[in-house]
Structure 1
Amino acid sequence: MSRLAGHHALVTGGGTGIGAAIARRLAAEGAKLTLVGRREKPLQETAEAIGGAIALADVTDRLQVEGAFTAARHANGPVTILVNNAGAAESAPFPKVGEDMWKRLLAVNLDALFHCCQAALPDLLQAEAGRIVTIASTASLKGYAYIAPYVAAKHGAVGLTRALAAEYARTGMTVNAVCPGFTDTDLVARAAAEITAKTGRDDEASRTELAKFNPQRRLIKPAEVAEAVLWLCLPESQAINGQAIAVAGGEVM
């Protein structure tokens, strides 16, 4: 199947986890892929597996983002799909959240979206069916304790999604967010490790504790998130705009 033939998708944080799953799924539908991130080895491994290109960049740095988009266009032509996937999470009780942590988490989870969306916008508006899909989180739809900076940034990500969707509703571009629950990725593995360190539980018990947020009592699979992203990128999804779609097994928001 080649439902995305002729498209060029740029995926930030595309070397591992959800980003790599999205890259594989879009490539399987015929899209050209450019993977952007800071770590060359995982980017290169994923790119080689799908026949994509890579561009090294810290997405919190405006100049590096602009350089990455220039490299992407050189490799694969104008960007028609932008997937904002790069992100980071840290936990701390709110009184212990320092200014450095606050700024660091807003930079990667929110400022990076500003940089990438502006860099992609001229291409997306020229495309017949441009797409922006941001990987947010259920933390963009509800509050969780001990991760206030992350929750604030992810709420901002959905706010930006809705603002852009409204501003460009009369164009061929749509802007949506996918909001996974706890997903089986390195980020959740680190969260489980923190629980283990603080409570003395074993790793499996810590992962089970995180999975309890999902009424299905399991972690979400990266491939399930990728399927939601693919759906939003398809031509027939033109009417889906400004939405924040939870992929969370029925977790109540």
Structure 2
Amino acid sequence: MKRVLVTGGGSGIGRGLAQAFADAGHAVTITGRRADALAETATGRDMTCITADVCDEAAIDALFEQPFDIVVANAGMGRAAPLTDVSLDDWNQTLAVNLTGTFLTFRGALRTMKAGGRLIAIASTAGLQGGPRIGAYCASKHGVIGLVRSVAQEVAKKGITCNAVCPGFVETDMATAAVAFVMQARGVDEARATQMVVSGNPMGRMIDVDEVVSAALYLASDGASSINGHALSVSGGEI
């Protein structure tokens, strides 16, 4: 049994990750800003729920008084808008949650993590390519990939690995928001908007949460001990 931490565990990919690690017999701790959402994730499973914001340095540092074996920096956010409509507050918030939150999580984890440890960031295909109307999101996720590759070099000789999972559009609330934005901006119905959102995926569909979870479980496994500094695309061939 390993000790696992998943940030942003209250919904979407984070919920899927936490439940999968718990079902595999690991001791799982989840964090997020909403206690009710964390409790829902933990329903029927033995998990530790801690209300914490990944942008809160003290709160994140406090998580790592005891070492974790597997740490998944999953908490994230994103809004679609032309760059000219992005406020400085929106820009700063996006980078704070997606990039600084990952930095704080990884930094805290490495202060106590032992050999065999796994650091995993849930990034995005937006960390590997640009995209219209998602400048802040792309910038933050490119930063996450850069951080992962740098950390991987630092920890390689310590027996720790650091990798990223880069999904395309996943069937989550964030994807639903993207579809709604396209419906409003383009004046199309939901079916057409969905088709437009997933047009970059050669499979022509949303990625399932379980597909992202499976990739993370692999990177956390003993069989992935030589996979380090990698950005694993889960995107149907988009990347």
1:187 corresponds, among 170, 174, 194, to 174
Question: Any idea what SS the aligned residue of 2:44 has?
Answer: helix
2:198 matched residue in structure 1 = 211
The change in CA–CA distance for 1:51 and 1:204 in structure 2 (over 3 A counts) is farther
1:229 corresponds, among 212, 216, 220, to 216
1:142 corresponds, among 118, 129, 137, to 129
| Structure 1 unaligned blocks of 5 or more | none
CA distance in 2, matches of 1:45, 1:182: 24
1:42 matched residue in structure 2 = 37
Alignment of 1:88-237 (within 5 A): 88-124=77-113, 126=114, 128-237=115-224
CA shift digits 1:55-94 (9 cap, x unpaired):
1011111112123445xx4xxxx31111000000012111
Compute the TM-score of the two structures, normalised by the length of structure 1: 0.91
Q: Tell me which amino acid in the other structure corresponds to 2:216.
A: V
The change in CA–CA distance for 1:38 and 1:69 in structure 2 (over 3 A counts) is farther
CA distance in 2, matches of 1:52, 1:207: 35
Contact 2:64 2:112 in 1 (8 A): no
CA distance in 2, matches of 1:226, 1:196: 29
Size of the alignment, in residue pairs? 239
CA-atom RMSD in angstroms: 1.2
Identical columns (%): 41
CA distance in 1, matches of 2:185, 2:91: 22
1:17 corresponds, among 12, 16, 31, to 12
Q: Tell me which amino acid in the other structure corresponds to 2:74.
A: N
CA shift digits 1:152-176 (9 cap, x unpaired):
1100000000000001110111000
Task: Determine if the alignment matches structure 1 residue 82 to structure 2 residue 77.
Answer: no
Contact 1:182 1:213 in 2 (8 A): no
CA distance in 2, matches of 1:43, 1:137: 23
Contact 1:57 1:68 in 2 (8 A): no
Contact 1:80 1:123 in 2 (8 A): no
1:27 matched residue in structure 2 = 22
Q: Tell me which amino acid in the other structure corresponds to 2:175.
A: V
State the shift of 1:96 in Å. Answer: 2.1
CA distance in 2, matches of 1:204, 1:56: 36
